[in-house]
Amino acid sequence: MLQQSLLTKLKPVTACARGTIRLKKNILAKNNKLIKKSKFFYSKRVGKTKHNGQITSWHRGGSNAKNLYRNINFIQTNKFNNNITLNTAFDPNRSAFINLNFDLIYKNFFYMPATQNVFPGSVFKNSINLTEVKLGFRSNLENLPIGSIIHNLTIDKTNISKYIRSAGTYGTILRCDNNKAQVKLPSKKIIEISSLNYATIGQISNLENNLIKIGKAGTNRLLGKRPKVRGIAMNAVDHPHGGRANGGRPSVTPWGLPTKAGFYLSKKKKK
């Protein structure tokens, strides 16, 4: 991605602007008319059912903003293609940036999650037999060196990327033999998957996403996030933690189930 910082600090002309750090989108590409695979995203971010208004997901709702959804190419249908990066753009539906690419073989435009330090004009390959390893190249895990930093990882035969897609994250290939591969996820968890799964070399873009400060509660409301109330701040009839000076019991859910010490409802399966 771009080398210069994409963050800007607002001038403290108001109380909410003091300390606010936002993303400078003017450095990224504007709306591009070369690709028309965008559609209006009309569904509101509400956590209620449509027929009776029952809350199904807490702390969601209130946003009426309509964002264009960009169709990201997470499915690898071609076994070999050469692509060129045209520009880097902002996507309101994810934390990472996206690249507009052009396939030199099949002659079509598509969006992909942007790789860090991959600039417009870069050419990268997607192949099951890579002869070289560079940033942005995509292939099976068995073709990548041990210890490589990867992102945009697939986990099943559908070849749909499901792991390591958030801004600034990356995974590490620990082992690859006997058609199995061990990958260390950003959460430090180690998973074992097939070595035929696809992954992209490099770290995903927008490393400074964790440094953004929203500055005021109204920004979260526009994003569809409603306020959260601590249980200890409630009355005794509303939460098990309520009505006391400091909780008075170990942490539990609103229905009394423990939330710590690895509590689970279903029994572990015996191997």
- Nearest by Cα to 175 from 155, 151, 153, 192: 192
Residue 145 is encoded by which pair of tokens?
């060196």
d(CA 209, CA 168): 7
d(CA 29, CA 26): 7
Q: Left if phi > 0, otherwise alpha if psi is -120 to 50, otherwise beta: which for 72?
A: beta
Strands 149-151 and 171-177 turn out to be antiparallel
pTM here? 0.83
Q: CATH topology for 230-271?
A: Ribosomal protein L2; domain 3 (4.10.950)
pLDDT in single tens digits along all 271 residues of the chain = 445 788 999 999 999 999 899 998 888 887 667 666 566 665 666 888 878 888 888 898 887 777 778 888 887 666 678 889 999 999 888 999 999 988 888 888 888 999 999 988 999 888 888 888 889 898 899 989 999 999 999 988 788 889 999 999 999 999 998 899 999 999 999 999 999 899 999 999 999 999 999 999 998 888 888 999 999 899 989 998 888 766 678 888 899 888 887 777 777 776 6
pLDDT score at 1: 42
Which distant-in-sequence residues (6+ apart) come within 8 Å of 58 by Cβ?
A: 47, 226, 228
d(CA 176, CA 162): 20
Indicate the domain borders of the chain.
7-209, 230-271
- CATH class assigned to 7-209: mainly beta
pLDDT score at 25: 86
Residue 86 is encoded by which pair of tokens?
């045209």
Beta bridge partners of 70: 38
Sign of the torsion formed by the C-alpha atoms of 253, 255, 261 and 267: negative
